A and B are shown apart, each in its own frame.
Chain A
Amino acid sequence: MTTQAPEDQASRPASAGDVLRVEHIAKRFGAVTALVDLNLRLARGEVLGLLGDNGAGKSTLLKILCGFQPPDSGRILLDGQEIHLRSVDHARSLGIDVVYQDLALIDQLSVYHNMFLNREQLRGGLLNNRAMRRVARQRLDDLGIGLKSVDSPVARLSGGQRQAIAVARAVYSDAKILLLDEPLAAMGAKEAALILDLVRDLKRKGDVSIIIIAHNYGQVLEIADRVNLLQHGMITLDKPAKDTSVQELNDIVVAEYRRALEERRRSA
């Protein structure tokens, strides 16, 4: 049923630069097969766009990678070492961090308290707000996220600013791999530009490897080094971003829709 063979995914030699490799991952939920035989690699410092329609298996893959649930079969290699993720905390301790779109921040807390949540700096047992405020300011400036005040509660910020703060928090949590879950969904052009710029800056610094999970091809193609298309629980396309286009990706997905429609008609 696949038309586009993934570009020699399995035959490519294990590059020393791969920070993450996912090999032959499968996951079923009762009668539903979410992931079939999924192979994926992420090079150090790379930004990988993981694209796919609703129901393609994106969230299942995300949950496996962040330690929320184990795969039925297959293996995950971090820096060439096989790992068995036991929990979200375990994944985080290994440097794999997820930034969810809505869940991340506490509306009522200030920007700097959000950035330091559960990693607070203390002095004499009490919160060292002055230090946290200063470091938060410094970090946001370093990342090019210009906020006028780190004291305002995040409830007053826009979607883009909130997302940027969530990403900033993850960047400073010693994350080696950042999984950004739909970071641009429900965001205006200006807002999205803020996040895209932030990802670009992170890429330039090269300390962190990023997987962006999204279904908006255009925006992801702008910043990703490489894109993978996920369909029916497997990667059906793996190309450098510069060698593909919104057109090509659209055509594949539209062809998929057509086939599904025809099947329905035939069975009806």
Chain B
Amino acid sequence: MSETVKRTEEVGVGAPPGPVPGKGPWADLTRLGRTFAQQREATVFVVAVLLVIYFGFISSAHSNFFIRQDLINITQIMAPIAIIACGEVLLLISGEIDLSPGFVFLFAPYLMHYLVDFYGVPAVPAVLIALLFGLVVGAINGFFTVTVGVPSFITTFATAFILYGLTLYTSHAEPSVPPASVHGWIQGWFGELSWSELIMTVVIVAIFHVLLTRTRWGLHTIATGGNQLGASEAGVNVARIKYGNFMMTSLLGAVTGLMVAFQLNTIDAAAGGFQPMFYAVTAAVIGGTAMLGGSGTVLGAFLGSIVLALLLDGFQLIGISGTIINTIFGAAVLVAMVVNVQLARVRAAGRA
């Protein structure tokens, strides 16, 4: 059909075919390099590698960088950021944000402690109820944002303070310890053992990566944030997607709170708060998630949280004093993001 042929010419999309790839190991490497450069996470990966090179080989702290204790330290900084970021990525992609997971993080371990020590609930149900509590907070965030129509920034700001007050009031702002009955395998596997946080993080990141890229849920999440009206026109249940993403984010807040309490063997009223959430959102954005919705990757956020952890750990190693470290960290985040954006521009130019 000649019409078809003509139309094909007119509407052709995609890059013009590049030079014909040659043979041999060199060409294989080039091809590999090109495949890598096409991944959206490539630029933040490069930033992370640059940081490892700097702190591991160049800076004054290089002799302390690749030792076991420091690597564990990095994973312990990275894990809460990366886990909460998994939820924030999905929420940001679907066009919402959650400011409250750090306060679910704060309250969940106290709840477990109250249940076991004051109400005699066995360890496993107590942990499960603390996690369930996360889901309930997420559902409340969803209710006020999706059903009532309050912007998520306000809804979750409010829940954050409600939870904060609740925690301080019930705990009298006193620190506590994980109850005796969770000592052992629960506490060990879910935070206390050296690499347990890394393993949890990798498993959760893998699950959310698959959820976002390989399931209907992920596709509908992108559709919801990309074009909410169009998505609902196509029959996507936009409300359900948002509720679900709120619930998962709060659940991850609870998971992280318990994990950190297990790791430190402390339940602390000064833990959590806005900081882990802001780290997580920053990691997501450094990793390529759009704050206005519609696109983002879990792997990028994971790499973003590694970048943040490398910076926080590296500056400590170098011995920057506690009072100025925030300033240096803020400036470094800005530089990392600028480098990332510039690399992305090069990448886009290479593709065109």
Contact = CB atoms under 8 A, between A and B. Distances in A.
A209 interface: no
Interface string A76-106: 0000000000001100100000001001111
B216 A122 contact: yes
B187 to A, nearest CB: 33
Contacts of A13: none
B14 A109 contact: no
B226 A109 contact: yes
A127 B226 contact: no
B14 A100 contact: no
Contacts, number: 92
Contact of A108 (B5, B8, B14, B295): B295
Given A127-B215, A127-B216, A144-B1, A106 B10 contact: no
A120 interface: yes
Contacts of A55: none
A118 B234 contact: yes
A126 interface: yes
A190 B1 CA distance: 18
A152 interface: yes
Contact of A194 (B1, B5, B10, B220): B10
B226 A103 contact: no
Contact of A147 (B1, B13, B222, B234): B13
A194 B223 contact: no
B11 A194 contact: yes
Nearest to A88: B233
B210 A126 contact: yes
Given A108-B294, A194-B7, A117 B13 contact: no
A137 interface: no
A197 B3 contact: yes
A122 B218 CA distance: 13
Given A190-B10, A197-B7, A104 B233 contact: yes
B214 A158 contact: no
B320 to A, nearest CB: 40
Interface in A123-157: 125-127, 141, 144-149, 152, 156-157
A149 B235 CA distance: 25
A146 B214 contact: no
A108 B7 CA distance: 24
B8 A146 contact: yes
Contacts of A141: 4
B233 A103 contact: yes
A156 to B, nearest CB: 6
A190 B6 CA distance: 11
B319 interface: no
B219 interface: yes
Of the candidates B11, B14, B225, B236, the one having the most CB atoms from chain A within 10 angstroms of its own CB is B11
Among B214, B233, B295, residue most surrounded by chain A Cβ atoms (within 10 Å): B233
B27 to A, nearest CB: 23
How many of chain A's residues touch chain B, expressed as a range? 35 or more
Interface in B7-29: 7-14
B213 to A, nearest CB: 8
Contacts of A157: 11, 13
A97 to B, nearest CB: 10
Interface in A156-180: 156-158, 160-161, 164
A117 B14 contact: no
A226 interface: no
B165 interface: no
Contacts of A156: 13
A113 interface: yes
A145 B11 contact: yes
B216 A105 contact: no
Among A89, A157, A161, residue most surrounded by chain B Cβ atoms (within 10 Å): A161
B122 interface: no
B227 interface: yes
B7 A126 contact: no
B339 interface: no
Nearest to A107: B226
Interface in B218-255: 219-220, 222-223, 225-227, 229-231, 233-236
A103 B13 contact: no
A50 B63 CA distance: 77
A85 B167 CA distance: 51
Given A122-B216, A127-B214, A158-B11, A103 B230 contact: yes
26 contacts: A89-B235, A92-B235, A104-B234, A106-B223, A106-B230, A106-B294, A108-B225, A108-B226, A109-B222, A113-B219, A117-B234, A118-B234, A122-B216, A127-B215, A127-B216, A145-B7, A146-B5, A146-B7, A156-B13, A157-B13, A160-B11, A161-B11, A190-B10, A194-B10, A197-B3, A197-B7
Given A106-B294, A117-B234, A120-B219, 11 more contacts: A92-B235, A104-B233, A106-B230, A113-B219, A146-B11, A148-B12, A148-B13, A149-B14, A158-B11, A194-B7, A194-B10
Interface of A: 88-89, 92, 100, 103-109, 113, 117-118, 120, 122, 125-127, 141, 144-149, 152, 156-158, 160-161, 164, 190, 194, 197
